[in-house]
Amino acid sequence: MKFRARITSKRFIELFIQVSSTIAKLAKVCVLRVCPDRLCFCPMGLLGETQLWGEVRLGVFHHFCMEGVSQEFNEIYLELMTKHLARAVKNAGNASSLKLQLTNKLHPCLTVVVELASCPGHSRAMVHDLPVRVLPRRWWKECVEPQVCRPDVSVYLPAMKTLRNMVEKMANVGSHVLVEANLKGNMNLSAETEGVTIKSYFKNLGNPPNAVLCMSQGKDPENMVQVRVDNRKLLQFFEGQQINPSVAICNILSNTLLHLVLVHEDISLQYFIPAS
């Protein structure tokens, strides 16, 4: 097995730092799945049955080389502590490059090399050897991307900061949040107790093109599709989220699942919150 990758673009280094920080805030342990065309993050031990899936695709890297366990199973699965990776890349914002490599230093390690430019013609490097566990193939099935059915409705999310503020306020009212959306680009959030109800309305957010194309014939676009989720799980997502996405989408499977998708260039995060 071999794995070497290098990021030289400043904006991609910063995005990788943000993704690593997001993963670390949401889970203590993560499986890094090394594929020929991308890196996948599968955090373990999230709240309840909530799941997170992150991807860093090939376009982020200036150099990417890997050989899996075999030609047939050309992947590598590495279990690591998320805080170790976040700390290793934390100060790479001003680096000229960020390198990742699978090494063996008495035990398997993910070696992170942060190259910092100093005076002209010279550079210095910070090297972090992060202990990892190479997972045998019989465990790979536990670390696959969650599969969901086609959502009943998809809508673009409003500003993340605004959403986080609303969810924080609703956490003081009740333990659950009702999320509603329709194919007219409208979305509502609400929380209630016997004596208090808070509801926020977001209009004209827009719907992804695929959502409109897949709309069932005869389905009223005004109808609201809803899912009720645990407030702690939704707040966990907003507290951990670090990237500034260019596209943010909310998918709802009626009374079943809230699926949040954040995309920024060649990086994506998906968050799956089951109904409660």
Indicate if 176 and 269 belong to the same structural domain.
yes
Q: What is the pLDDT of residue 240?
A: 76
The helix (H) or strand (E) run that includes residue 197 is strand 197-202
pLDDT < 70 positions in the chain: 118-121, 211-218
- Note whether residue 240 is domain-resident: yes
Based on the fold, state whether residues 173 and 228 are members of the same structural domain. yes
What's the structural domain count of the chain? 2
Q: Measured over all CA atoms, what is the biggest interatomic distance in the chain, rounded to whole angstroms?
A: 69
Q: Is residue 107 part of a domain?
A: yes
Q: Are residues 96 and 11 in the same domain?
A: yes
Could you say which of 111, 143, 175 is where a domain stops? 143
Domain annotation covers residue 148: no
- Alpha-carbon gap, residue 269 to 245, rounded angstroms: 9
Same domain, 11 and 123: yes
What is the predicted pLDDT for the residue at 209? 84
Q: What is the pLDDT of residues 115-127, one digit of tens each?
A: 987 666 677 899 9
- Asked which of 114, 143, 172 is the last residue of a domain, the reply is 143
Q: Are residues 109 and 189 in the same domain?
A: no
Domain boundary among 116, 143, 170: 143
Residue 193: predicted pLDDT: 82
Q: Do 246 and 170 reside in the same domain of the chain?
A: yes
200 to 80, 253, 254: CA distances (angstroms): 39, 20, 19
**Within this chain, do residues 179 and 230 fall inside the same structural domain, yes or no?**
yes
Domain carrying residue 11:
2-143
Residue 231 belongs to a domain: yes
Are residues 105 and 36 located together in one domain of the fold? yes
Cα gap 183→151, rounded to integer Å: 11
Are 250 and 167 in a shared domain?
A: yes
The Cα 157–Cα 187 span in angstroms is 8
Whichever domain contains 169, its CATH number is 3.70.10.10
If asked whether residues 173 and 72 sit together in one domain, one would say no
57 and 172 housed in the same domain: no
Residue 108 shares a structural domain with residue 171: no
